[in-house]
Amino acid sequence: MNEHERYLFDLQGYITIPNALDSARLDALNEVLDQEVDAAVSPDSGTHRFTELLGWGQPYLDLIDLPTVTPYLEAILGPKFRLDHTYLDIIRSGLGPIGATLHGGGFPFDPVQYFRFSDGRMYNGLSVVAYNLADVNPGDGGFGCIAGSHKSNFRFPDEWTDLTHPHAAVSRVVGPAGTAVLFTEAMTHGSLPWTADHERRTIFYKYSPHPVAWWGEYPSPEGLDGLTDRQREILEGPNARYEQRVDGTVTRRR
């Protein structure tokens, strides 16, 4: 995370990472998704959410610690973090699986979803990498947020939460296929209605600091072939056994 990206994440609560997925990786992820859609999704369905993506093979395992993204996670979560949960949404038109309501925010304080700055660095709770598997253009809909709301000292107004009639303060975050959107769950955010002629295809990998869990069912390395040692560490359940990494060394607490 360079100086400009660090500034923008601190200011906004999100940044985009262009070309987080190269064309070969993007094709591999979409090919697997096509197979899953054919097997599980009705042609008449406007939206569908897939969960537990790690069983979908190597292209989805590789996302656990993607080299183009992991340094950003280390910058906002610290060198030791864990994968909390995963899912993937396809939206053919209209509302997403959880509707179009803004949620989250810096107030009231949430011990699992938070943003703090201290001693020259950022500390975040649950944080998200959202990968665009298809283009998101201006006017298409998709990810929307209230930039800077991760620092708010006041509750977000209830009458502004409806993204079918978005308030002027809503930022529409776009990017071509291969773009990743990195954001803290402490920022007020949601899904704008999808209006494009093509599907919205978005992968969500959500990470937490190593002692913290948001989701109650933790991802497990059991039964997964092809994992690296680092990926197995990221799939550990929440624990406070580790000090911060220094030069790649992990010190266990006694």
Answer yes or no: is pLDDT of 246 > 50: no
Residue 150 DSSP class: G
The answer as to whether 244 is a domain residue is: no
For the stretch 105-120, pLDDT in tens is: 999 999 999 999 999 9
Counting residues of the chain whose pLDDT is more than 70, the rounded percentage is 94
Query: Are the C-beta atoms of 189 and 146 separated by less than 8 Å?
Result: yes
pLDDT band (50, 70, 90) for residue 217: confident
Question: What is the token pair recorded at 233?
Answer: 């560490």
Answer whether residue 248 is part of any domain: no
Residue 27 three-state SS: helix
Secondary structure (DSSP) of 153-214: SSPPPGGG-BTTS--TTPEEP-B-TT-EEEEETTS-EEEEPB-SSS-EEEEEEEEEETT--S
Mean pLDDT of 28-53: 94
Question: What is each CA distance from 33 to 113, 205, 208, in whole angstroms?
Answer: 29, 15, 25
Q: Does the pLDDT value for residue 192 go beyond 50?
A: yes
Whether the per-residue pLDDT at 241 is higher than 80: the answer is: no
Q: pTM for this structure? A: 0.93
88 within domain boundaries: yes
| Strand-pair category, 180-184 with 115-118 | unpaired
179 is in which domain, residue-wise?
Answer: 3-234
Q: Is residue 253 part of a domain?
A: no
Count of domains forming the chain: 1
CATH number, domain of 115, equals 2.60.120.620
Does some domain include residue 76?
yes
Taking the chain, what is the end-to-end CA distance rounded to the nearest angstrom? 32
CA angle 54, 55, 59 (to 5 degrees): 60
Render pLDDT for 58-70 as a digit per residue (tens, 0 to 9). 999 999 999 999 9
Whether 197 maps to a domain, the answer reads yes
